[in-house]
Amino acid sequence: MSLDQYVQVDPMLRAKIIVELSRRKISFDPDQYDYEEWDYVEMPEGGFDLNFWFPDAKTFAVTAYFMTTDDTGESVRDNTKFFRLFEKEF
């Protein structure tokens, strides 16, 4: 996935999500993850589904997906609207 497919977001939103995850003691250490894990955070700006994953053999990343409401009123992840929250080479 190229970086030009990511949504541009306010740096303050990115910082608020990172602070919230830190407050909840969510780790940004790649050694804490085997393959891929998901988490969720609700912010005043909306809900975000967070993917903790390894885009390649040397990189750990956290990608935030915006949540939307489907036709039934249920909150679902919007796979077309996302941004890189964190990335670390190891």
What are the φ/ψ torsions at residue 62 (nearest 5 degrees)? -125, 120
CB of 61 closer than 8 Å to CB of 55? yes
Q: Return the domain boundaries, the chain.
A: 3-26+38-89
Q: Residue 3 has what pLDDT?
A: 47
Instruction: List pLDDT tens digits, range 2-55.
Output: 444 678 899 999 999 999 999 999 999 999 998 999 999 999 999 999 999 999
Token representation of residue 78:
């919007």
Q: What angle do CA 6, 11, 13 make, to 5 degrees?
A: 90
> Long-range contact list for 8-12, CB < 8 A, 24+ apart?
8/83, 9/83
Distance between CA atoms of residues 36 and 54, nearest Å? 7
